[in-house]
Amino acid sequence: MLIGLAHRQVRTILAVALPIFLLSVAVLFSLTPRYTAQSLVLVDTSSKNLLDPNTAATSGLTDNSRVEGEVRIVRSDAVLLDVIRDGNLLSDPEFTPNGFMEPLLAVVGLKRTVSSGDKAIGAVLDSFRYAVRVRREGLTYLITVGVTSKDAEKAARLANLVTAVYIKKQVEAKVANTVSAGKILEHQVTAARDVLAQNERNLDLFVTSHGNLQAAGSLQQLRLADAQFGETASDARGPNYGRGVSSEIVTQYYALQQSAQVARTQYQNLLTRLQDFEAQASLQVADSRVVSAALAPIEPSYPRKGLVFAIVAILALGLGIGGALLREFFIGGFTSEDQVSAVLNIPLASVTPDQAGGEVEKPHGRGLSDTIMSAPLSLFSESLRRIRVSLDQTLLRNAGLLEPETETGVVVMVASALSGEGRSTLATSLARTYALAGKRTLLVDCDLRKPSIHRHVDREPTSAFVNLLRGEPDPGLANMVVTDHATNLSVILGARPAEFPTDELLMGPRVRKLLERARQHFDYIIVDTPPMEAAVDALYLARLSDAVLFVVQWATTPQKAARKAVTALRGHTRDAAPIIAVLNRQDQRKWFAVGGHYVLASA
């Protein structure tokens, strides 16, 4: 089915798909290629303190948050602004807004006003931000830093510059934190030194203010004893120490001495930590390192022509097939019985095959109507008999026009929406089918604008019928009728193509009287009419007909035109006159596979 649809709608598919594909290819080749260079960075989340190598590692949850935070830091404005300055991107036309307008402005002799200051930096930052892509590789500690540029070398240089600036800022941040902490410690060391000095002064003043402490021993001996207090103090104090000194004074002395000792210890600890921070500031290393530096790419990352070609081809073909389906089932022609019945809301009598180049040779060059005699068991002949059976059954069911007691003949009009749909061929073939079945049949060529029945019956056209309609004396029915020698079919031929409006002839009383006389002498009167899109003649004849056979060319007649014609026919036919469709020139003989093989085998 799809192959057949593609064969029928190949023009539609090409008309839709080819322009889309060619336009996409033209746009693709007009695009400026861009290159993406990528560098790979590893984030080490373990704490680094060269003065304390036994620092505990952080947890996994903290590690994940840390890596995600580093991704955001790489894309931060602070990093990108330093890259812009270090890479001199403020003067780079690729990242300068409206840089593509420079050539056009140069042609007309104009110069673009370049913004300066923060506004220019912000504009370049916005442009450069779109060129930078930073992502984490899954759940690993690896970060890919990519930069896209028109120049492959520039892309690699900028990608490496982004990672370098990022690592540099990481080290600077750690150094700044250490220096900031060191400054806080400096204030604490200064304060501790002042406290120590004050305690020392208090102790010295206390000793000098108590003379018995001096009499008991020199200040130097007291301090030496204090240093050895608790161990060999009695020996160090000397033989005269403590003579004449009260216990309260000794207690105060040792309290002051203890405060001075605590201040001295705190001062020494803070001084040691300050020296450690100063050493750390000079020993800071980055937590991230470059695993793989960016190299200049060979192939552009945009556009990917191979992938784009494939996608565009598939998309264009899909749109072409969509257009073919739309034309096949909604806009274009009819391709199935159900489609005809559903769209036109009329019964379908038969589907006739397209015999162009088929198994039946066309004798005398007159067309398919001779197939009824030359190949009576062919697919085409069988389809005509199906039309005859369907037409007779519909007339019996709807109007009772074919009852035995009925003495008048039946007028069957053959119509179509457009020309070239095989209407005249079917009218002649159907009339010959009735004639060969022994029915008295008259074929009337009412296509006065372009008569063609005379070619099917191999007779010269005559103007007797047209002259009668134009008001000349009635020559009698017998004088207007010619005989088809092949089937004894009676035929009223048309004249040469008319150069005047023919609807005026068919709306008068003479054609009605002619058909009434024909009903008295014939069982079936088959009337061929002009296409309804070209003339209104068929609408006048529909009022005089007992049934209408509406011909639709398979996969060709537009659905809109067919619906319009059927709607017009419904408004002009008798209430009981049925409209029956025929799907003509079907080019898939598979539709007739079962019956066709049987008929050909019987032949």
Give the number of other Cβ atoms within 10 Å of residue 391's Cβ: 23
Q: What is the pLDDT of residue 590?
A: 47
Same domain, 347 and 300: no
Contact 350, 429 (CB under 8 A): no
Does one domain contain both 298 and 251?
no
Residue 185 CB coordination number (10 Å): 18
Which residues share a beta bridge with 37?
147
**Residue 206 DSSP SS3:** helix
> 502 with 448: CB under 8 angstroms?
yes
Whole-number Å distance between alpha carbons of 285 and 293: 19
Q: Tokens in use for 136? A: 């984490």
Question: Where residue 523 sits, what CATH number does that domain have?
Answer: 3.40.50.300
Is 3 among the domain residues? no
Q: What is the pLDDT of residues 111-153, one digit of tens each?
A: 545 455 778 888 899 999 999 999 999 889 999 999 999 999 9
Is there a single domain that holds both residue 488 and residue 582? yes
How many separate domains does the chain show?
A: 3
Least confident of 272-281, 520-529, 543-552: 272-281
The pLDDT score that the predictor gives to residue 98 is 60
Residue 277 has a pLDDT of 66
Tokens of 532: 């309804």
Mean pLDDT of 225-232: 47
Lowest mean pLDDT among 144-153, 165-174, 549-558, 586-595: 586-595
Q: Is the pLDDT of residue 489 over 60?
A: yes
Residue 286, classed as helix, strand or coil, is coil
pLDDT number for residue 212: 56
Q: For residue 432, tell me if it sits in a domain.
A: yes
CATH number of the domain within which 171 lies: 3.30.1890
Let me know: does 4 contact 586? Beta carbons within 8 Å.
Answer: no
Is the pLDDT score of 294 beyond 60?
A: yes
The whole-number pLDDT of residue 302 equals 82
Q: Report residue 597's pLDDT band, with 50, 70 and 90 as the boundaries.
A: very low
Two tokens, residue 124: 């370049």
Transcribe 124-186 into DSSP letters.
Answer: HHHHHHHHEEEEE-TTSSEEEEEEEESSHHHHHHHHHHHHHHHHHHHHHHHHHHHHHHHHHHH
Answer yes or no: is 12 within a domain: no
195 vs 273: CA distance, rounded Å: 18
Note whether 262 and 390 are same-domain residues: no
pLDDT tens digit sequence for 45-101: 876 555 455 554 444 457 888 899 999 999 999 999 999 999 999 888 888 866 445
595 and 465 housed in the same domain: yes
Asked whether the predicted pLDDT for residue 40 surpasses 70, the reply is: yes
Q: Would 18 be classed as within a structural domain?
A: no
- CA-nearest of 320, 419, 316 to 11 is 320
C-alpha 384: how far from its chain's center? 48
DSSP single-letter state for residue 573: S
What domain range is 221 assigned to?
181-282
What is the pLDDT averaged over residues 406-418?
89
236 lies in the same domain as 384: no
Rounded-to-integer distance, Cα 216 and Cα 92, Å:
87
Task: Please determine, for residue 399, whether its predicted confidence score (pLDDT) is greater than 70.
Answer: no
Neighbouring residues of 491: CB distance < 8 A, sequence distance ≥ 6: 431, 442, 443, 444, 445, 453, 457, 459, 481, 482, 483, 484
One domain for residues 265 and 301: no
The per-residue pLDDT for range 499-531, each reduced to its tens digit, is 778 888 898 899 999 999 999 999 999 999 999
Q: 65 near 43, Cβ under 8 Å?
A: no
Is residue 377, in this structure, part of any structural domain at all?
yes
Q: Is residue 421 part of a domain?
A: yes
In a domain, 475, yes or no: yes
Distance between CA atoms of residues 373 and 384, nearest Å: 12
Q: Find the DSSP H helices in 437-481.
A: 453-457, 464-469, 477-480
Range with top average pLDDT, 14-28, 352-366, 386-400, 419-433: 419-433
> Global pTM?
0.57
| Helices and strands (DSSP H and E) totals, the chain | 24, 12
DSSP state of 230: T
Judgement on whether residues 395 and 246 belong to the same structural domain of the protein:
no
Structural domain contains residue 296: yes
Q: What percent of the chain has pLDDT over 70?
A: 80
pLDDT at 250: 76
User: 3-class SS at 580?
Assistant: strand
Q: Return the SS3 of 569.
A: helix
Q: Check whether residue 99 and residue 140 sit in a common domain.
A: yes
Q: Are residues 243 and 170 in the same domain?
A: no
Together in a domain, 415 and 485 = yes
423, 482: one domain: yes
**Run of H or E residues at 482:** strand 481-484
